[in-house]
Amino acid sequence: MPDRSRLNSEVDEKLQALLGNANAARLISQTIEGTIGPKGLDIMMIDSLGDVVISNDGVTILKLMAVNHPAARMIINTARSQQAEVGDGTTTATIIAGTLVSEGANQVLKGVPVTQVIQGIKLGIQRSIELIEKMSRSVNSIDDPMLFQVASIAGRGQEDLAHLLINGARIIGREKLLSPDYKFADAVVAREAALDKVFMGALVSKEPMNHEMPRSLDNVRIMAVDDALAPEEIDSEARSTEAGFQYYLQNKERYENNLKKICSMDVKLVLVDRSIDDLAEQIFTEAGIMAIQRVSRREMEKVCKHTGARKIKRSALNHPAEQLASYLGRAEEVQVNDKRGYTCLFDGAGEAMATVIIGAATEELVDEKERIARDAASAVQAALQKGVVPGGGAIEIWVAKQLEELAQDLKGMTSYGVLCVKEALFRPFACIAANAGFNPLEKMGDVVAEQKQKGSDSIAIDCERGTLIDTLEKGIVDPTLVKIHAVKAAGEVAIAILRINTIIKMKDGESYPVDTLE
């Protein structure tokens, strides 16, 4: 006869792992629930040195939290994945994931086999994505009013920011924004005390090497050097020999000739991703050439794409001028902003590219302003790619009610997993209503009844007055792609956490699990 106490101990250990993971997921979710919606509040984070960060962005908060629990880190990684893929919706993804794990654990505690719960969650997630895609409204033009609403909502209601982003989208063009390889968010930069501005061109976060170099240029030929601009290094031991010293002199002469060759090619702007030596600075200054050193790789790539320049190594400068000419790019104008410490290149000969400059009142606000603007840019691009759905939690409630019908049609315990997804989809709206100061259960009932009566997926509440509204009529919409990825990512991480049966600490030095022991 089996030892009953031992069996109970094993069951308790397995439940302990499940409950521990569920509690960690719930705590992570609850931490950011107060930030969602137009009435969401901020969270203050303080590090060991007393530095403060204030934000209501889900992924920013989660990244900065001191978290040790492995399940909690899995939820945080889901938010990071959401940010990397679509740039918005991180709070929604986290709330849905946390609720899914919590509801799944509750069903297991009631006696539902975890495999049945997982199977039901899979069915519920798949059906949710299908319904969201089905109810998506396409955005066929950059001038579609819904696109402006998407930018405004993702930009925390800043209509001036929304106008900037829409103008930037027009410069780039719909075709490029539909490309999965292009990220509109990369066009956004924030600078302290700068004026909000959008223009066709690229920005370099550096100034020329000295103030004697020109600050404004027209019809500019551009050279991009992917190397240091200095003679080839020769160690002191080699220079101590006659042959070595002669080679050193020849190399220095060749380098000086290459610099003069650049001047003779009518190059007006030289960008270098490493350092520029004193000789090059002197020759370029005398020739009226603008030279900028230590340009970041990311900005160098953008400049090359926009101007048509090809990056060149230092050794390639030995080629004839005719051959070097094929590496040059061109821009209609280059302007240096000495006050703000950056240089703008306008109307390049390469790919169309927009730069959106966002001004921040203080240095502390730069990162937050840039994050909001990039989220809004990502939302604009996502809306163009896949369309929009009703916002304000409306689409989630509508999909959740359809899942209730699906659960009723299913046989067996799989239906309990589907109901977990239903409850998880209700949660974002409940948080939005609570943050606005209303009873979430009461408002949930009102919305469900009105959606059913009108057969509409766009009914939600006005967070100012608490009355029911049609979110589509009010312009409250969210990108379909953001919703789909949030539901999918939340489902995947919830299933991964619920599948964890036992937690075992690995031996020191082990970086992988041991599958079998012999």
Task: Report the pLDDT value the prediction gives residue 163, as an integer from 0 to 100.
Answer: 93
Q: Which residues of 278-300 are buried (b: 16+ CB within 10 A; e: fewer)?
A: eebbebbbebebbbbbebeeebb
Q: Is pLDDT at 472 greater than 50 in this prediction?
A: yes
Task: Report the pLDDT value the prediction gives residue 245, as an integer from 0 to 100.
Answer: 64
CA distances from 514 to 16, 69, 459, 499, 501 (A): 22, 21, 51, 17, 15
Domains of the chain plus CATH, in order, are 10-137+389-498 (1.10.560.10), 197-360 (3.50.7.10)
Task: Report the pLDDT value the prediction gives residue 158, as an integer from 0 to 100.
Answer: 87
Of residues 237, 44, 15, the one with CA closest to residue 107: 15
- Give percent of the chain with pLDDT exceeding 70: 91
- Give percent of the chain with pLDDT exceeding 90: 60
Q: Between residues 11 and 392, which one has the greater pLDDT?
A: 392
User: Which pLDDT band, with edges at 50, 70 and 90, does 170 fall under?
Assistant: very high
> Which whole number is the average pLDDT over 154-177?
91
Q: Between residues 428 and 30, which one has the greater pLDDT?
A: 428
Task: Report the pLDDT value the prediction gives residue 8, as an integer from 0 to 100.
Answer: 46
Residue 227: exposure state from Cβ atoms within 10 A (0-12, 13-18, ≥19): middle
What does the block give as tokens for 59?
């992924």
Q: Is pLDDT at 126 greater than 70 in this prediction?
A: yes
User: Which pLDDT band, with edges at 50, 70 and 90, does 258 fall under?
Assistant: very high
Q: Is pLDDT at 9 greater than 70 in this prediction?
A: no
- Distance in angstroms (rounded) separating the CA atoms of residues 500 and 508: 21
Q: Is pLDDT at 143 greater than 90 in this prediction?
A: yes
- Distance in angstroms (rounded) separating the CA atoms of residues 395 and 404: 14
Of residues 440, 221, 394, the one with CA closest to residue 310: 221
> Which whole number is the average pLDDT over 473-495?
93
> Which whole number is the average pLDDT over 270-286?
94
Cβ pair 459, 471 in contact under 8 A: yes
> Which whole number is the average pLDDT over 405-427?
93
pLDDT in tens, 76-112: 888 887 777 777 778 899 999 999 999 999 999 899 9
Task: Report the pLDDT value the prediction gives residue 4, as an integer from 0 to 100.
Answer: 47
Cβ pair 267, 328 in contact under 8 A: yes
> Which whole number is the average pLDDT over 38-65?
79
What global pTM score does this model have? 0.80
Cβ pair 58, 88 in contact under 8 A: no
> Which whole number is the average pLDDT over 364-392?
89
Task: Report the pLDDT value the prediction gives residue 504, as an integer from 0 to 100.
Answer: 59
509 DSSP β-pair partners: none
Of residues 168, 151, 170, the one with CA closest to residue 159: 151
Task: Report the pLDDT value the prediction gives residue 507, as an integer from 0 to 100.
Answer: 66
> Which whole number is the average pLDDT over 199-215?
94
Q: What is the mean pLDDT of the chain?
A: 87
Task: Report the pLDDT value the prediction gives residue 518, as an integer from 0 to 100.
Answer: 35
Task: Report the pLDDT value the prediction gives residue 394, as an integer from 0 to 100.
Answer: 95
Task: Report the pLDDT value the prediction gives residue 238, as an integer from 0 to 100.
Answer: 59
Among 58-72, 487-501, 502-516, the range with the most confident prediction by mean pLDDT is: 487-501
User: Which pLDDT band, with edges at 50, 70 and 90, does 239 fall under?
Assistant: low
- Distance in angstroms (rounded) separating the CA atoms of residues 48 and 56: 21
What does the block give as tokens for 353?
């590219």
Among 65-69, 262-266, 367-371, 497-501, the range with the most confident prediction by mean pLDDT is: 262-266
Q: Is pLDDT at 440 greater than 70 in this prediction?
A: yes
* CA-CA-CA-CA torsion sign (178, 182, 184, 185): positive
Of residues 45, 115, 22, the one with CA closest to residue 414: 115
Task: Report the pLDDT value the prediction gives residue 29, as an integer from 0 to 100.
Answer: 86
> Which whole number is the average pLDDT over 184-196?
86
Q: Is pLDDT at 299 greater than 90 in this prediction?
A: yes
